[in-house]
Structure 1
Amino acid sequence: MKFFKRFILALLVLAVLGVAAVGALYLYVKPELPSVATLRDVELQTPMQVFTQDGELISQFGEKRRIPVDLEDVPQSMVDAFLATEDSRFYQHIGVDPIGVMRAVWVLVTTGEIKEGASTITMQLARNFFLSFDRAWMRKIKETFIALHIEQLLDKDEILELYLNKITFGHRAFGVGAAAQVYYGKSLNELTLAQIATIAGLPKAPSNLNPISNPDASKARRRVVLLRMLDEKKITREQFDQAADAPVTARRHGAEVTVNAPYLAEMVRQQMIDRYGEEEAYNGGYNVYTTVKSDVQLAARQAVWDNLHAYDERHGYRGPVSVLWSEEDGRAALSSNEITRYLEKLKSVGAVIPAVVVEVEGQTATVMAKDVGRVTLPWESMHWAREYLNEERQGPPPESAADIMAAGHVIWLRRVAATDENNAVWRLAQLPEPSSAIASLRPSDGAVAAVVGGYSFALSQYNRALQAERQVGSNIKPLIYSAAFEQDLTLATLVNDAPINQWNPGSGIAWRPKNSPDVYEGPIRLRKALAKSKNVVSVRLIREVGVKQTADHIAKFGLDRSEVPENESISLGSLSMTPMQVARAYATFANGGFLVDPYVIERIEDRNGEVIFNAEPKLACVDCDNPAPQIISEQNAFLVAQAMNSAVWGGGSWAHNTGWNGTSWRIQRSKPIVNEVGRSIAGKTGTTNDVRDTWFSGFTTGLVTTTWVGFDDVSRQLGRTTMNPLLDSKQQAISGGEAGAKTALPGWILFMEKALPRYESGNMMIPPGVVNVRIDLATGKLSHLTDHTTRFEYFIDGTEPTEYADTQKDNGDIFKEDDRELF
């Protein structure tokens, strides 16, 4: 009895000492313990996501991939897997599991090694939020005390939810939601039991047990998780066997991007960093909604792709990417499995995918394409492939597939719509050498409708829509004509379209600006001169208005005045602008004279879905609360738009052999555009010297778009082509010298056919202060006649002609000899 009493007393003393030691230890580390109250308002680092206006994901930015989920949205089988593996007594202990601690101590005593950490889910949460992962006794002690605090502050479900959203799973995935997306491209409720067990096994060692980098170790760990679930009676033996034997299906997935628009995403990323700083922008959980509609943005990308491939095809085939084997060098042909493995290493780019030619016979070829398998290419998919000689010359048309390719060639394919049935076919392709860009705006407020900065963001992150300052060619002319209308010139004003030969004593050479084509018509009305893009008329207009005054006027359209040159060469487009700057300038003609600011972010939501920013753009209006600056009058804008409308529809009378086309006449052939907006469309081509840059800019009242095509290497010319006799006019619609009307306009049409139905456009309404009178086409004077020699013309009130043409006599040449050089 005495011994028993002493034993009990010793136990009590030890207990008191133990409690005292724990208390002393707590007091010792207390100053270093963080406040767990922050867990009440914890904001998990979540990436920034960028969406289209209609909610399609464009991109995701952030170092940590995290998709926060509520506990109620986590499948019960996943909860069971984590509890069985990490902390089966989670709902019974107080943050520290005595049984687990005793088990860890026993292992330490019997083996002399720390093999089990006895960490509960609460302790792991404490470590993840507040501590390091160092193996140290003091860290473990702090972890224990923090866990006890957490259990006092939060209930079990709150702790488990935080844990499932916080822990790391490798490949920058944090939380179970991100893990499901990164490894399987699925949401949690779509995962199989085998996939759930794989994810649940990762926290132990995310790098070593990763199913992508170490599938065998991951599969073994998955079996351990499944055995624990079986022991806890959370799954049946049949479920265990099926899941344990399942193949490893994990592979790295990106965010679930539904609209691939990397140039647009990069614009948003940069603006968010400028607004919030990099750390906050990437990890603040912002959802950014842009101004673009998903189908319109995809149409812009497709238009750039199709237009560049059309250019590339008419200029000829540059040959295979590489040659894996050939009869000449004696290299043996690869097997199907070897070709498949080879193709897996290659990446698709833009609209094209890699393929290997395996057989060529007659006018067909059999190829193996990446992720597609065997494909038979018919003659119609490759007969465009004349040999490329240079930008100016193409070789003879091929007669057979062997003239184009051979077995062992690595080539590119692209998928195109079939011409004779409602399916798609594969077509021989190549990576286009030129670049292109599209910038499209809503003229009423500057909202970006679409932006494409090049063929492939993977090849070049240079956003040509925003960054490429290229000479604009004749795209500058509407701005020059606007300056002329400010000086009371009119659409009916006659200017002499005749060659200019000006001697420059300083340089010792003559300046001879020429029309393109080199054709001159003598006295010509300004409406017709702009529609037909007469270069010498633009020079004469600058001389009439004044070089400095013209430069001042051009700068109003959003340009830095110091970058607008004061010389006559500006009339021919020597000024450099970006496609977005051109689109912004042209929006002024579409909206009544207002200079709107392009913007791409419509609203920003925080991690809780609260709107923290709404765009408040300046509007093209006079009486609204937030008007944009009106840089030209509504009447001036209307007159320029009218002349650009004639660039599309031409004029004169074809029945009387006086009909003529403007440079943008190809728009007339687009039934989708004509059916959508009728004749209420305006446009202007642009081509620089030696065809290094080609442009087309055009608009309706609801949408303005600029396209540019050229080489990144400004020394290269776009060249010219001859017709391929194997193709009809639909298969090769363009031949001869490249130009804005042939190179850039087709891409504009492809885009606008899809985009215009998504933006409401009205008729070009006649503004107040504009009168409409009948004029004589030859003289620009008033006319009493109503035949093909006259038309109604618009004038700013007070600038209309006051004299009538002499209709009783042959008008002949109305100019005196001294008046030939009008301006």
Structure 2
Amino acid sequence: MKVLKWILYGALIAFVLGSLSVGGMYLYYKDELPSVAELREVRLQTPMQVYSSDGEMIAQFGEIRRIPVRLEDVPQTMIDAFLATEDQRFYEHVGIDPIGVARAFFQLLASGEIQGGGSTITQQLARNFYLTFEQTWTRKIKEAFIALHIENQLEKNEILELYLNKITFGHRAHGVGAAAQVYYGKDLDQLTLAEMAMIAGLPKAPSTMNPISNPERARDRRAVVLGRMLAEDKITEAEYQSALAAPIKTRVHSAEVTMNAPYLAEMVRAEMVARYGEDIAYNSGLKVYTTASAKQQRAAQRAVQHNLHAYDERHGYRGVEAQLWSAKEDEEPLPVATVVERLDEFRPIGLTRPAAVLEINEASRAATIVFADGEQAQLAWANVAWARPFINRERQGQAPETINDVISPGAVIRVRATESGWRLAQVPEPSAAIVALRPGDGGIAAAVGGYSFANSQYNRAVQAERQVGSNIKPFIYSAALANGFTLATLVNDAPINQWNPGSGIAWRPRNSPDVYEGPIRVRQALAKSKNVVSVRLLRAMGVETVVNYLTNFGFEYDELPRNESLSLGSASMTPLEVARGYAVFANGGYLIEPYFIERIVDNQEQVIFTARPKVACVECQPAERDVLPAPQVITEQNAFLVTQAMNSAVWGGGSWAHKTGWNGTAWRIQRSDAITKHAGRNVAGKTGTTNDVKDTWFSGFVSGLVTTGWVGFDNLENALGSTTMNSNLDAAEQPISGTEAGAKTALPMWIDFMETAVEDVAAEPFDVPPGLVSARIDLATGKLSRASDYTTRFEYFIPGTAPTEYVDNSSSPTVFGDDDSIF
């Protein structure tokens, strides 16, 4: 009895001391326990997603991939798999499982070290949210207290839902929703039993037991999960055997990006980080909807890439990327498996895929090629015939006669997919950019900053400041129309010789081509891009007057040259800045602010930001429609008159039947049935080419969409060069030859894009604004005419500027610049 008595006393003392110890530890760690509000409102780190305006995903940013799910959306079979594996008594214990604690205690006695295991789902949740994974008594004690605290504050189902959304599964997947997507590319309700068991087994060691990094260990772990489910009567023997035999088929699935727009996505990423900081931007589950439509963005990407390939092909083939063996030296061909392995050294870039030539069939005039994934295909002669040798950017070699003149077995080449099959290709050397704006409010409809974002992250659409060449001329002409000139004013199109006493040389600006027509109307001069006329107009107004005027279009005063070269486009601007300037003509004279984020939605699907752009509103008052009015920087009449001149750049003028017809520099648009069918004749634009053809541009618009395209080399020293006709190709296959220029190099890209883009733009005419008058003029003199034949046309004038004299045979026309030195 005395022994029993002392045992009871000892037990009581141990209980009291233990209780005091637990209470003391609780008080010690109390301040570190999470609050109730923190537990209920815990923020799951979720990546930022970027979408097109019509809901297609462009990109996903954030280290952690998580797709939050509600517990009721998790299949019961998956819940059973987790509970059977991780915590069989989850719904019975209070956050700590005594059996698990006892097991961990005996492991400690046996090994002398704290071992893993024994933690309930609640403890794992506590550790994942609030603690580290170090095996220390301090962490274990905190984990236990936090687990008890969680159980006291949350319902069991709330705890399980948090756990399933928080737990790590490897390959940056956090939560069961992300794990299903990363490993299987499926939603939870699409998973098989074997796949659910695989995912449920990952929390034990996600980095070393996942089916991608270690398929065998993953298979063994899956078997453990299935065995426990069978022991718990959650699955039948037949289901167990079937899932156990299922193959391990998985790979890393990327985010469900359905539209490739990396340059636009990077613009959004940088803007979001600037607004909210990296943590909120990357981890708060924000959804960013851009102003770009998927259809127009895809069209822009395609136009840039196809146009650069067209340029590259007409300048010649630079040769294969490697030679794995040489048939000429009687080397033995490598086994196909070895060839496939070697192809892993080469990565796809843009539209091009690396491939190796296995053999060439002379009879069929085709080559058999193999890709890095082992797929084989045929490369037909018709898709190789373009590949005459590249000598330099000005010269190309003789056209090949056979496929053997271009490639041979063992060659590593690049090909791209076309409607006619695989086509020999190479990564284009030059760069290009397109940016399209809604002129009414500045929303960016599409933006592409280069051939391949993977190859170069430099966004030329918004970062590349390049000389604009003749793309500057509509702004110069707008200034002239605001300073007394009209579309009918005659200006002398003759060479200029201006002596510079400082340098001792003469400045002789030339037309391109070097053709001069004498007296020419302002409308026609802009449409034909007459350089000397632009110089004379600027000279008449004065450089400072023009510089000040150009700031109306958003161009920086300090960035504009203070000399007459400004009239020929010596100023450097980004494609976005140029497009913004052209939007002033398209919207009736208003300066809009480009923007690309339409709205931002938080992880509760609440809109936290909606763009309120400044709107070009010709007819409404600022208070109407709750709009922010864009400032009117030029008159509606001036904008219309410049648009008219750029419209003539597309359609030309005169009478072809009477041999007086002429084309503007953008005449190739006439051939586009897709554009003209939609917009009719309501298309306006202007080419641009700089000295030595280092930069080529085309900017133009239809109602509702302004687009600027640029093509050039990133290296400012490189010119785009010229080409000759390829004797292997017919005229339809090589529509462009000669010296590269805005009309040949940039305009085809603009046309390619607009043929698709205009389908979603309202077709509206270039309506004549109030305050203008029209009068029939004589085309040769710009004076009034009583005739109504091909020698005349109706022209538009600001009241008070129309000619007052009628043409007759006794008087000479008034020509501006006629007193200049002419050579």
Structure 1 and Structure 2 fold alike (TM over 0.5):
yes
State the alpha-carbon separation in 2 of the partners of residues 186 and 336 from structure 1: 34
Alignment-mate amino acid for residue 524 of structure 2: K
- Report what 1:231 is aligned to: 231
- Report what 1:615 is aligned to: 611
**Cα gap change, 1:32 to 1:589, in 2 (>3 Å):** closer
> Which is worse superposed, 650-659 or 169-178?
169-178
- Report what 1:624 is aligned to: 622
State the alpha-carbon separation in 1 of the partners of residues 725 and 140 from structure 2: 79
Report the 3-state secondary structure (helix = DSSP H, G, I; strand = E; otherwise coil) of the residue aligned with 2:25.
helix
User: What is the CA deviation profile of residues 594-638 of structure 1, one whole-angstrom value per residue up to 9, with x for unaligned ones?
Assistant: 010100000011111100110000011152341111111000000
What is the CA distance between 1:213 and its match in structure 2?
2.3
Residue pair 1:691, 1:739 contacting (<8 A) in 2 also? yes
Report the 3-state secondary structure (helix = DSSP H, G, I; strand = E; otherwise coil) of the residue aligned with 1:679.
coil
Report the 3-state secondary structure (helix = DSSP H, G, I; strand = E; otherwise coil) of the residue aligned with 2:756.
helix
Residue pair 1:496, 1:822 contacting (<8 A) in 2 also? no
What is the CA distance between 1:12 and its match in structure 2?
4.8
Q: CA RMSD in A?
A: 1.9
**Cα gap change, 1:31 to 1:791, in 2 (>3 Å):** closer
- Report what 2:213 is aligned to: 213
What is the CA distance between 1:4 and its match in structure 2?
5.9
Report the 3-state secondary structure (helix = DSSP H, G, I; strand = E; otherwise coil) of the residue aligned with 1:477.
helix
Within 5 Å, give how 1:64-463 maps onto structure 2: 64-110=64-110, 112=112, 114-329=114-329, 331-362=331-362, 363-371=365-373, 373-418=375-420, 425-463=421-459
Report the 3-state secondary structure (helix = DSSP H, G, I; strand = E; otherwise coil) of the residue aligned with 2:553.
coil
Alignment-mate amino acid for residue 803 of structure 2: P
Asked if residue 673 in structure 1 is aligned to residue 675 in structure 2, the reply is yes
State the alpha-carbon separation in 1 of the partners of residues 795 and 596 from structure 2: 38
State the alpha-carbon separation in 2 of the partners of residues 814 and 290 from structure 1: 54
Asked if residue 46 in structure 1 is aligned to residue 46 in structure 2, the reply is yes
- Report what 2:527 is aligned to: 531
Select the residue among 781, 786, 789 that pairs with 1:787: 789
State the alpha-carbon separation in 2 of the partners of residues 89 and 740 from structure 1: 74
- Report what 1:726 is aligned to: 728
Select the residue among 574, 588, 595 that pairs with 2:591: 595
Residue pair 2:114, 2:135 contacting (<8 A) in 1 also? no
State the alpha-carbon separation in 1 of the partners of residues 191 and 335 from structure 2: 36
Report the 3-state secondary structure (helix = DSSP H, G, I; strand = E; otherwise coil) of the residue aligned with 1:499.
coil
Residue pair 1:37, 1:153 contacting (<8 A) in 2 also? no
Within 5 Å, give how 1:554-593 maps onto structure 2: 554-593=550-589
Alignment-mate amino acid for residue 334 of structure 1: L
State the alpha-carbon separation in 2 of the partners of residues 178 and 804 from structure 1: 78
State the alpha-carbon separation in 2 of the partners of residues 643 and 627 from structure 1: 27
Alignment-mate amino acid for residue 740 of structure 2: E
> Which is worse superposed, 453-462 or 347-356?
347-356
User: What is the CA deviation profile of residues 113-171 of structure 1, one whole-angstrom value per residue up to 9, with x for unaligned ones?
Assistant: 54453100001111111112111112111111111111111111100010111111222
Alignment-mate amino acid for residue 738 of structure 1: E
Report the 3-state secondary structure (helix = DSSP H, G, I; strand = E; otherwise coil) of the residue aligned with 1:523.
strand
Asked if residue 506 in structure 1 is aligned to residue 481 in structure 2, the reply is no
Alignment-mate amino acid for residue 648 of structure 1: V
Alignment-mate amino acid for residue 361 of structure 1: N
Residue pair 1:45, 1:283 contacting (<8 A) in 2 also? yes
What is the CA distance between 1:51 and its match in structure 2?
0.4
Residue pair 1:413, 1:426 contacting (<8 A) in 2 also? yes
Paired residues, number: 814
Asked if residue 553 in structure 1 is aligned to residue 529 in structure 2, the reply is no
Residue pair 2:492, 2:816 contacting (<8 A) in 1 also? no
Report the 3-state secondary structure (helix = DSSP H, G, I; strand = E; otherwise coil) of the residue aligned with 1:707.
strand
State the alpha-carbon separation in 1 of the partners of residues 304 and 524 from structure 2: 30
- Report what 2:652 is aligned to: 650
- Report what 2:694 is aligned to: 692
Residue pair 1:416, 1:427 contacting (<8 A) in 2 also? yes
User: What is the CA deviation profile of residues 341-362 of structure 1, one whole-angstrom value per residue up to 9, with x for unaligned ones?
Assistant: 3334532111111111111122
- Report what 1:483 is aligned to: 479
State the alpha-carbon separation in 1 of the partners of residues 586 and 80 from structure 2: 62
State the alpha-carbon separation in 2 of the partners of residues 307 and 681 from structure 1: 21
**Cα gap change, 1:649 to 1:551, in 2 (>3 Å):** same
What is the CA distance between 1:210 and its match in structure 2?
2.9
Report the 3-state secondary structure (helix = DSSP H, G, I; strand = E; otherwise coil) of the residue aligned with 1:746.
helix
Unmatched tracts of structure 1, length 5 or more? 419-424
Residue pair 1:346, 1:354 contacting (<8 A) in 2 also? yes
Residue pair 1:621, 1:628 contacting (<8 A) in 2 also? yes
Alignment-mate amino acid for residue 95 of structure 1: G
State the alpha-carbon separation in 1 of the partners of residues 391 and 271 from structure 2: 44
Report the 3-state secondary structure (helix = DSSP H, G, I; strand = E; otherwise coil) of the residue aligned with 1:117.
coil
- Report what 1:713 is aligned to: 715
State the alpha-carbon separation in 2 of the partners of residues 817 and 667 from structure 1: 31
- Report what 2:778 is aligned to: 776
State the alpha-carbon separation in 2 of the partners of residues 301 and 42 from structure 1: 41
Residue pair 1:107, 1:116 contacting (<8 A) in 2 also? no
Residue pair 2:341, 2:372 contacting (<8 A) in 1 also? no
- Seq. identity, %: 63
Alignment-mate amino acid for residue 559 of structure 2: E
**Cα gap change, 1:28 to 1:270, in 2 (>3 Å):** closer
**Cα gap change, 1:638 to 1:37, in 2 (>3 Å):** closer
- Report what 1:421 is aligned to: none
> Which is worse superposed, 54-63 or 203-212?
203-212
Residue pair 1:538, 1:571 contacting (<8 A) in 2 also? yes
User: What is the CA deviation profile of residues 175-211 of structure 1, one whole-angstrom value per residue up to 9, with x for unaligned ones?
Assistant: 1112222222222222232222222222112222232
Alignment-mate amino acid for residue 584 of structure 1: R
Alignment-mate amino acid for residue 470 of structure 2: S
> Which is worse superposed, 548-557 or 457-466?
548-557
Alignment-mate amino acid for residue 814 of structure 1: P
What is the CA distance between 1:7 and its match in structure 2?
5.3
What is the CA distance between 1:649 and its match in structure 2?
0.2
